[in-house]
Structure 1
Amino acid sequence: MSDFSAEFIEEKLIAIRRQLHQHPELSHEEFETTASIRGWLTEAGIRVVDYGLQTGVIAEIGGLHGGPIVAVRADIDALPIQEETGLAFASTIRGKMHACGHDFHTASIIGTALLLKEREQELQGTVRLLFQPAEEKAKGAQKLIASGALEGVSAVFGMHNKPDLPVGTIGITGGPIMAAADGFVVEVEGRGSHAAVPEAGLDPIVTAAHMITALQSIVSRSVSALDSAVVSVTRLHAGTAWNIISDKAVFDGTLRTFEEHVRMTVRERFDQVVNGVASAFATSAKVKWLEGPPAVVNDQKWADQASITANALGLAVVKPTPSPAGEDFAFYLKETEGVFVFFGTAGSQEWHHPSFDLDEKALPIAASFFASLAVDALRKLTSENTLGGRQHSEII
């Protein structure tokens, strides 16, 4: 285990986090954020690698002696939320806010980069730093993967701040830690009429109401009690006047699951319920699925290593309750091994709240943890490769 102390850069990381917080940018619009990250990295002599990205930054440290590659990821985008924190460094852009703590993630991993650069000569491989755009749209990870950012990477590591965990606590688990997050839009087509003569039409509102009620039975009757799923209808729109039965009703919402087989079962049953109810009321319906990221499923091997690293740093390791929120880090774990952790930040509000804030004392702790984990991972991979080569030679 490599022990990195980040106390000497705490003030710098706080300044970086606050600058990012004051200048939030939405998904695919992170141009100023990208320029700032490039500036901080190049100022420290860290090489930025061109992957043809309009927003987002990829940098590398190490590789001076060959060896494996591990990646550490931070997301950089903000949300379309009006800030209500009252902080002295609150957002200067109306209607935009770092209400999910991506400013914390970015500043922490810049800290990781600074720590690793100090000991670059000792690295037994390469640490690739992924400053990813558009996580809130669940598009950024796929964009980085398509650019080649994961080529040669043996393991990838990431985090999300966790307001309900104290500073100095880290949530680590093998298996699912965040949910698959799919959206749906259902259009119900009927036939309009005067509200006084409903028999002359086919009421899509009544049909939609029965659909919404019937959809709630999927989780209780089609999903095992040992599994979990959430089906939430969050919006319903129909009609133009109080005395007219409309031609169409539209409702949408979200599906959250942790297991792929549950995800597919619920989606299949969802389509069956919608079409069956539509047929029963002599209407028609179309379901449009908005494909979100799959569940974030950690590799036990790297969860174990992350726990070893965290314990050695004196962090309190807890087994977290998986979050039903979505996270496009899942796409990286479809491509290679890795682990995603929850980092305690002792906030008073949950993610996406206009008063969201966190304890900046967690910044150097997170920077130190990921620097140590990257070094430990490179050492572990190098050892495994060496052992594998020896075993191969013995077999021959």
Structure 2
Amino acid sequence: TALARPGVVRGVLHESADQAALFAPLAKAVYRPRTVGDVVQQVPAAIQTALTCPRGPVYVDIPTDLLARPAPPCLSWAVTRVAPHEDDVDRLVAELAAAERIVIWAGGGVVQADVAPELAAAAARLSAPVVTSWAARGVLPPAHPWLVGFPPHEPAVAELIAGADLMLAVGTGFDGTTTRNWTMRRPPRLACVNVDATELAKNYPPDVAVLGDAKRVLAAVAVRVPPRTAANPIADVRAAVQARLAADPSGPEPVRLLESIEAAIDDEVTVIADMAIPGYWWVGYGAVAGPRRLQYPMGWGTLGYALPASVGAATVRPVLALCGDGGLLMGVGELATLAQERLPVTVLVVDDGGYGMLRYDQQRLGDPHRGVDLYSPDWAQLGAAFGIPTQLVGDLGNPLQHALQQALSAGGPQLVVAAARLIPPLTTSPRWAD
């Protein structure tokens, strides 16, 4: 980033005063090699740091005048799993054995640790329903007998959680969006498993804490805890949620959207949801086929995320980018990238003529609409400008389903635009009190 002169910003092209400081809040770690020897040591260390659970991005700041210098091969690293203390595992096993009604809360760490088989085995052994955070959606298949499949914001799910006498939380820090900013009732006993000490007791103090690899811990639970035969409440919970959705003031349109998407995609498609009302519905209620089949800007709420993120994801498998019109227009130039690279991305835009979530906030508060109504482009001409086949539909039912099926089967970039104004789901903060 700089032709090295410590403490001096010389004005090299693209140079900033402290670029590493800019990236530090975004990265798991920052490395600043200043010699070829530093590069040889720190680049493998950075890769190891990024790949060690909890995984995350790292930033490596290499001065530009080092990039062309000769260096020996240095790409060798090892990633190890953190072994839990056996005493902690013993306490966890004893706690689970003594509990009568157990619920499992699975966070994004279960995906990072690749523990789907162990999680499924533990749930069956404990007769424990599994609730997932946004980041863990898809860790169990939609039809798994112990998967709740709906967000904790739903009254029936919240009641299930509060009615347990022990919650086993794995790979989660209990963020604000999934806990209604930590106002949800929790069971009287809490056991947490996490590889990250800073996440282990950050928001809810656990009664039992196990620092270590979730794969090893859940494998022990699935073998050492005596098997339980508690009644399975999943069917009743799902029926209660479906009944509430049928009576929701949002009407039938969001459910029709979900059903059309579910009917159109197969297990290989990754859905990338933007911070938009259709994205909120899919993240909370859509059927996610497997781990990493849903990508969503958890935590920061980055509007306009879905389209640019789909560019990278589509190098691995086909993508459905689920967008609102406002968010899509923030990065609409990426349509050119899709066209140029012929990437298998179907962009679904639910066009409500503006920032629908902000419009809903203003309407709910009785405020006039300000800055929320946008000018929509001529979508057909926009798609044509990039050579992207475009379909316009006015119905979220069968017409949308057929348009998506046609687009996904065609391969390459496709644009589908559905005109609809949706009410946000209970998972969004303005409706937490509903």
Relative contact order: is structure 1 or structure 2 higher (C-alpha 8 Å, sep ≥ 6)?
A: 1
Task: Give the shorter-chain TM-score range.
Answer: under 0.3
**Normalising by structure 2, what TM-score?**
0.20
**Normalising by structure 1, what TM-score?**
0.21
Higher strand share: 1
